[in-house]
Each structure stands twice: as structure tokens, then as C-alpha cells.
Structure 1
């Protein structure tokens, strides 16, 4: 592997993994077992700074999901070059939580794997060090597929790479592999000097609506902060899961589930309280809450900050019939734009739903693909 050989500069040796495939190995780890992988903290700083790649959060996610994730760590000589988060999906499990790591079930039971971040679908579940070139990434992903087939057993039907950017989709596509473009993720590039500049860039009818919405917060208690420990995570998780359930229900009624809520074959689980509590306490995670004077939670927004940009993974609000405020989400977007400008980050990403609304607010889109790889061609 010539391109990988070029990376073999002198360095501190980490605890080596088993060596295979010309000195390259992919280790499949269940986060519920053992400690953080060797070299994981250093790799995260370089290639996966988003909080959902924290091994402790992956552990919580695995314990509290019906289709628990495993982590595939790609190494060369003990150094981590890349990683994937993979859900092992059981078609008959339904809403029941998965068995513990010591009782994974028969290796002959039919199931499939999804390379996917189910609660952050606008972010790819495959990451690499920047210096690993395209040919090396392709070879690492083929080795990953072979290791995954060995790990999951003969019952594995195949693997689906979901919501991948075009460069990753190109690497995993090929003969016998079905590739299709799916709903894009939304991106706002940082080209503004102030929130007023952003509002002024919008079309006149949208601009008027946004300005009107931003003047209607007097009766609400709005609190914003990073790493917040004052929140009732159960309260927020309930609001978030109800919000998502309404989005799905509207999509079914409109006959456009594939366009609006078709982010999954319903393989994801509800957001657990314990996971959300830990996520919101991370120092790079900013939470904005909207409450009535009585203390009732009306809405909340979550942003997280990385050197590559800000992301808005969560917004949830009460519907109008339960006392929700119309157009409150526009204040959330204005707040996100303010944070984008103040942080000097290059972009803000805001997920894969409500594409028309976000286009009106100045967002562009980034193409995403899914690639299905049946068992007979995995690793080829």
C-alpha cells in the first residue's frame, strides 16, 4: 500500500493492534466492553472532534439503543488512520433493546449493518486523518468490510453506508454496489459581519417575517450556555422525541416520508435521557432554552462547535395547540448565525429536514449518498 507507506514517519509507538493486510488492521470494538481504544483521544482531536465520537458517549448510545453501534478503528502500525460507527441492525428486534455484549445472539441470525450516525444524520459516520489519500481510504474501507463480515458472522446480509458525502460515497461505490443520492444536508457559509447583515441578505418577504419574529420574545425566559448542568435532560428528551414523532407523522400523511423523514428504515432509537444529559454537558455544546414565566419549557436548541464549523443537531418545540409559539424557530436560526459570526467558523450545518425553509434563510445544500453493499461483494 504505497500511499499508506508514505505516512510512516517517525512517531511515538502506540499499543499495536493485530497486523494483517500488509500491516494494516481494522479492529471492531463494542463500546460496552473495555476502555477507549489506544490512540483514540489523539485521533479525535485530529479527525473527529464532534462530541458524538467521544467513546463514553458511544458507550451510552450502545447500551441504550435497540441497534447498538460498534466502532471500527482502522490502524497502520498501531496508529489510528480512520474510523467508522456501525449499527448492527436486527429486523425482528422492534423496539426492544439489544442484548448485552456477552449475548449478541446467533452469528447465523439474519441482520444487516449500517454505517450511520442515527441521531446526527447530516454528519458522516466515516472519518479519516487528512493525510490519508483516496486510494488508501478505499483500501481501508474494503478491509473494514472484510473485518465486519468476520465480526458479525454468516447472518450478515450486507452493509449500508448511509448519508455519506460524495467523496466517501465514491470510495465505497463499485460493481455490485447500489448507490443513490438522498436528501442533502443544509449548510450556511459564514459570509456575514452581523446578524443584521444576514437578515438583510434574505428575500424581502422572508426578511420581514424574520424581523417580526425576532421582536416577539419579551414574554419568554431565554437562557443560553455551553456545557450546561442546570437542565432536566428527561424534560428535554421528551420534548425532542415528541417533536421528531410529529415530523414523522406529518411525513406519512403527506406521502413524502422518503423526502422528509426518510433518514432511516426506522433503525434509530429515541434519544435516551442519559445520553442527552451527557451530550449537553460537553464544553463545546451550547444549549438555548425558551421557557414561559411559569418555568414550562416551550422550545430548545442545541449547537456544537468544532474547528470545521458549527452544527445544529437539535431543535424541538411545543406545537401551537399545546402552547407553542409561532415562528420561534427563527430566533433559533438568528442565534445560530450570531454564534457562527462570533466564533469565526467557516460554516453552520443544520441537518436534512425543512429544506425549503432553510433555503429561504440563506442555506445551501451539500450532496449526500447512500451505498448498499450486499454480502457477496463486501471487501471486493
Structure 2
């Protein structure tokens, strides 16, 4: 096997040859689509670059990498290429901020453990060269145990973070899943479904939605989550709020996302048409994911418990489409456990600059 790596900036570089074929072969989620990566990069404070590993000419692995800067710098990223000419400190994060429960390092199944380890070291050396002497190191967020095993080594720091919720599909009928729920949960779901003050619309490839309206609700919901997590002290120092490198989700990005045929968007409104809640579900042959969820607080006119209806709808799709599992992010784990979700362990691995590539 002859491995090589290239790093491309979706804002200015053309889609790598063979990328669409690799996305299909590796069963990647829609967030890896190159036009979506480009939209994310143009509106992010810490824009992603894409590292592509090849065996000769065929793409066999990829990493989505956020290039992060100090908080003293401007809100949006510098122009393309500019950061590679600067000596200012920065670090890199292998991370999918829009799908935080899934690793941002993916390999085709043909690569064995040794090849994956070699590929990651090769990536680190190329990343150091690409970003220059200001690079402090790379942080691999939300890595599954199999990836931690190939990332492990002297000088590398690994720490458990909140796991992600996973529902393993063992049913052939939606009613069979419902039968596993407690009577109280079933009654609550029936009450929510019977509420005629809430109008629900669900479809793929949606062109009828105002992406700005979606973005406002989503970013307000995220801000409340971050504030709650800070107050409760639930984040570790390694993945703490003070190191939250995500950017607000832009309307431009959401507009592209909800138009896709492999994304189902479910929207809840009151009788006056006010947006109460939204959900995006990212389809995938192996592991569909509950993408975005946001709702209006009850004190501001929202409805309690709409997330239960959202999860039930996603589970129904997984069962009816015969998908092996559904992933649902790293929050509300106890609530998801009541719906039958288990947990998949995740870790963050920090690699200081002197250790990179070794």
C-alpha cells in the first residue's frame, strides 16, 4: 500500500477527484458532501479543511479539520491561504461540529489497523507542514475506541468525554418499539400527537422553509444549552465551554442542507404559523443520525415534550427503512435511555506539536 495525503480548503479548492465515490463507499453522512463543507467553511470562524488520504489514486480515508485561532482575533476566519503565512499560534481539531457524536476521521474498511496508524501519522506531518510553525498541535475530538487505539502513543493525551446515544434497531414494526416504552411515555406521546394546536410538516428535499427562521431558532437553542452546561459544570477542561470552537449555524448552510433528498426536516408550528421546533434527520445506509434539534422555550410560547415526538418519528424511519441503528448526539442521555438508546463511548485525544507524526 502506497499512502499519500493532500489538504484542501473547500472555500477555494475544487472537490478532490474521487471524493463522491469515497463518500458512497464509506457510507458517509451528508455533512461530508463537498458543497456543504464549502458553505460551512465560508461562514465559520474556524473553517474546516479536508485532508484526503489515497492509496495511489484511490481515496481510502479522510479527516475534517477545523483550524482554530485565539479568541482575540476577529469573528470570521482570515481570507483563504492567509493563515498558512502567519506565525500566530493556532491549533487544529479533527471534529464535526455539526455532527458532534460522530468521528471526523473516517477510513475505508479495506485499511487494516497498521495502515490506519500510518495514515494518521502521515496526516499529522502534512498538517504541520501545511499550517506552519504556529501550529501548537492537533486535538481529535469524539473518537470511537477503535480510532483511539490507532491514535495512542507516547506523549498523546486521551480522555473520555460524554458518550453518544445509539439505538440499535432490532424491530421490524414501529409498534414493536412502542411496546418497549413505559405506559407513561406512551401516554405522553399520544397526548403530544393529539395536540391540534401544533401543526407538523415533514419532508425531504424541502424548498418551502425560511432558512433564516430555522437558523435563529437553532442558534438560540444552542446558546441555552451551552449556558446550562456551563452552569452545571458538565464539561471537562479538555472539552470545556471556553474551548468551544463551533460557529453559529448559518442560514446559507441550512438552506442547502434541508434541500437534500437524504435529509428529512420535521417542523412544528402553532396555528399562527410561529416556528415552535425543528429537526433534521440525516439518512445513511448504516447509521442515520438525528442532526439538528431546536425548540422554543415553554416560557416563550413553546410546547413541552415535542422532542419525544421528534425521536419517535426518527425511530419510525429507521425501522421502516431497515437501518441498523440511529445515533442521536451527546445530550439528554438519560431521556434517550428511556426510549431504548444505549451509549457509544467516545474520547478526545490531544497530540502536541512535538509528538505529531510520531
Q: TM-score, normalised by structure 1?
A: 0.90
CA distance in 2, matches of 1:268, 1:136: 31
Q: Does 1:142 align with 2:121?
A: yes
Q: Partner of 1:16 in structure 2?
A: none
Aligned runs of 1:230-249 on 2, under 5 Å?
230-249=208-227
Report if the CA contact (8 A) 2:52-2:62 is conserved: yes
CA distance in 2, matches of 1:226, 1:145: 38
Q: Does 1:177 align with 2:177?
A: no
Q: Partner of 2:308 in structure 1?
A: 330
Deviations 1:51-84 (A, max 9, x none): 1111111111111110011100101211111000
Report if the CA contact (8 A) 1:63-1:100 is conserved: no
**2:232 aligned to which of 244, 254, 267:** 254
Instruction: Classify the secondary structure of the residue corresponding to 2:283.
Output: strand
Gaps of 5+ in 1: 5-22
**1:112 aligned to which of 91, 114, 132:** 91
Instruction: Classify the secondary structure of the residue corresponding to 1:336.
Output: helix
Q: Does 1:152 align with 2:119?
A: no
Gaps of 5+ in 2: none
Q: Does 1:88 align with 2:67?
A: yes
Report if the CA contact (8 A) 2:226-2:241 is conserved: no
Report if the CA contact (8 A) 1:301-1:312 is conserved: yes
Q: Partner of 2:37 in structure 1?
A: 58
CA distance in 1, matches of 2:241, 2:262: 26
- How large is the Cα RMSD of the aligned pairs? 1.7
Aligned runs of 1:188-267 on 2, under 5 Å?
188-216=167-195, 218-258=196-236, 262=240, 265-267=243-245
Instruction: Classify the secondary structure of the residue corresponding to 1:309.
Output: coil
Shift in alpha-carbon separation, 1:358–1:94, aligned structure 2, 3 A:
farther
Give the Å deviation of 1:295. 1.0
Q: Partner of 1:318 in structure 2?
A: 296
Mean Cα deviation higher: 355-364 or 41-50: 41-50
Mean Cα deviation higher: 29-38 or 187-196: 187-196
Give the Å deviation of 1:305. 0.8
Report if the CA contact (8 A) 1:310-1:349 is conserved: yes
Instruction: Classify the secondary structure of the residue corresponding to 1:372.
Output: strand
Q: Does 1:277 align with 2:255?
A: yes
Give the Å deviation of 1:30. 0.8
Q: TM-score, normalised by structure 2?
A: 0.95
Give the Å deviation of 1:204. 4.1
Shift in alpha-carbon separation, 1:47–1:93, aligned structure 2, 3 A:
farther
Give the Å deviation of 1:169. 1.2
Deviations 1:313-362 (A, max 9, x none): 11111000111001111111111111111111011110000111111111
CA distance in 1, matches of 2:241, 2:101: 9
CA distance in 1, matches of 2:157, 2:329: 24
Shift in alpha-carbon separation, 1:105–1:36, aligned structure 2, 3 A:
closer
